[in-house]
Structure 1
Amino acid sequence: MSDRPFRNSVRYWRTPLLPGADMVTAEYLDHEFAPHWHDAYTIPVIEAGAEMYDYLGSHHIAETGTVPVINPGEVHTGSRANEHGWQYRVCYVPVDFLQRLADDIAGRAQPLPWFPADVIRDPDLARRVSTAHRLLEAAGDSPGGDPPGGDPLAAEAALIDALSTLLVRHARNEPEPARLLADNPRVETMKARLVADLAEPVTLTDLAQAVDLSAFHAARLFTRETGLPPHAWRNQVRLQRALGPLRAGVSVAEVAAATGFTDQSHFTRHFRRMFGVPPGRWQSR
């Protein structure tokens, strides 16, 4: 790796070859991702430097040439693991796409693919993921997918190759859900209350009264079961629901108001902490 520190430079893009997916080509020097989750499978490849992150109760370091997969819906963080920062490429692969691919590989319906929490250290897989990402980016940048470097046939083949290799070598079945405890309905009730109207002010006392607990015990229970305190969990739902309108071209100010953020600056601050760029820039890409 060069002795030059990386910059905070992010490019979000999309490709018709992987419908519904967000793609990222980025390098970071000092950006720190707040605890968050994605609705898709997060499939990065670290191309230089190293990233550290907290995930599923453990602290991880993903160095150059690794593939630190994050399962959908799982809370995680992200920041540099050395003074230079890190450079990576990320595919946010929709759950239904990876599920169909797993079914095709097995020739029959499969359980939801699930990946262990440990960083995947498989140099051959890392090369395949990086190659697929680069070819997809080149195909998207070349009108009509014309060569050189813009062949959509080669890009799609590389994508299927990379994801099928990931599934065959590293996927497991989704863990069986733990036996429901008496408190699980309370957590679901609080979630429902939080998302019923994202623009409606909700207090911790409101949540606690809905489940017949004190505010202290309601907050502790919710945080223990979801990995985030109620206000942070609600903001994550707001951010996820903002993506569709942003893609459709709705203004940032309108999206901020519709999803319940106090104002546009509040929305922008939370969006950048999760996605690394302001919402207007994400939308323009």
Structure 2
Amino acid sequence: MTVTRFRDSAHYWRTPLLPGADLLTAEYHDHEFTPHWHDAYTIPVIEEGAERYRYRATHYVAEAGSVPVINPGEVHTGSRAVDEGWRYRVMYVPIEYMHHLAHDIASCTQPLPWFDADVIRDPDLARRLSRAHQLLEAGAAGLPATAGTPQADPLAAESALLDALSTLLVRYGRTQPERVFRPAGDPRVATMKERLASNLATPLLLADLAAAVSLSPFHAARLFAEATGLPPHAWRNQIRLQRSLAPLRAGRPVAEVAAASGFVDQSHFTRHFRRMFGVPPGRWQAA
């Protein structure tokens, strides 16, 4: 039997009905996401095929109809798990939005919502998330209703969004567990992060980080990787990419953003950006 492969195609977009969020409609075959994190809740629904990803030191496979939620700031990867690849819809929902929604649902102050690492296999939830995403996309694109496209009605779209995200929170929302002491709580890690995140365009040596925390370069690198899941240079590139989004949205030229973010040149920036977001920065900016 011939397998129809998905193509590497991604469309990022935004909607005023979910302020501050990025939304993605995509399919992938060859593309592989390198270890990275997002500053928002990553809420995908797999519509066809299957995705393989590494998260919290464990490999998972999310097949069609599943919802593999990733918490903010947690490192993960992504690649195809079946020959044809995978197609999915993703909401990158701001922390503040989810936290406020949790307050509204409970009618009282709530801790920050947290989700277990396991893939959520809940067909009803997947249907709600997929429909909300479709309605939001139709509204953002100004599409008229067709046989295969929901009506672009902002009231219906916002209602579907609240229904989907509240269902996710009520059924699967948890409180972040109290953890035993980890290297992430080590003040030396915080010091190294501060050094790495400041003056991104200034070159930095591992010896500089090590000296700041009175460790050898070997021990500084090992401590940092154990705490964050990434070596210092990769973590710094993640910060560069995250901080590049605002100036790109503001319309600044890609080459200018690349230089200000500390990348060697535009091609270096584009290569890293595509590994994280699945599209080059120019296309992301145009969307």
- TM-score of the superposition, structure 1-length normalised? 0.96
Q: 1:108 Cα deviation (Å)?
A: 0.4
Corresponding residue for 2:239? Answer: 237
Q: Is the 8 A contact 2:144 2:151 kept in 1?
A: no
How do residues 116-155 of structure 1 correspond to structure 2 at under 5 angstroms?
A: 116-142=116-142, 149-155=151-157
Q: Deviations over 1:206-249 (max 9, x none)?
A: 11111111111111110000000000000000000000000010
Corresponding residue for 2:283? Answer: 281
Pair 1:180–1:32, CA change in 2 (3 A): closer
SS at match of 2:24: strand
Distance 1:194 1:30 in 2: 32
Distance 1:51 1:148 in 2: 26
Distance 1:65 1:97 in 2: 25
Corresponding residue for 2:167? Answer: 165
Tell whether 2:105 aligns with 1:105: yes
Q: 1:195 Cα deviation (Å)?
A: 1.1
Aligned length: 283
Pair 1:182–1:155, CA change in 2 (3 A): closer
Corresponding residue for 1:57? Answer: 57
Q: 1:140 Cα deviation (Å)?
A: 1.2
Corresponding residue for 1:93? Answer: 93
Distance 1:66 1:220 in 2: 35
Match of 2:194 among 192, 195, 198: 192
Give the letter for the 2:216 counterpart: S
Tell whether 2:222 aligns with 1:220: yes
Pair 1:182–1:31, CA change in 2 (3 A): closer
Deviates more, 1:2-11 or 1:204-213: 2-11
How do residues 2-17 of structure 1 correspond to structure 2 at under 5 angstroms?
A: 3-17=3-17
Corresponding residue for 2:45? Answer: 45
Q: Is the 8 A contact 2:184 2:228 kept in 1?
A: no
SS at match of 1:53: strand
Q: Alpha carbon RMSD of aligned pairs, Å?
A: 1.7
Corresponding residue for 1:266? Answer: 268
Q: 1:142 Cα deviation (Å)?
A: 1.5
SS at match of 1:62: strand
Pair 1:182–1:227, CA change in 2 (3 A): closer
Q: 1:19 Cα deviation (Å)?
A: 0.5
Structure 1 unaligned spans of 5+: none
Q: Deviations over 1:126-176 (max 9, x none)?
A: 00000000000011122799x971101000000000000000000100122
Deviates more, 1:181-190 or 1:134-143: 181-190
Distance 1:180 1:81 in 2: 32
Corresponding residue for 1:76? Answer: 76
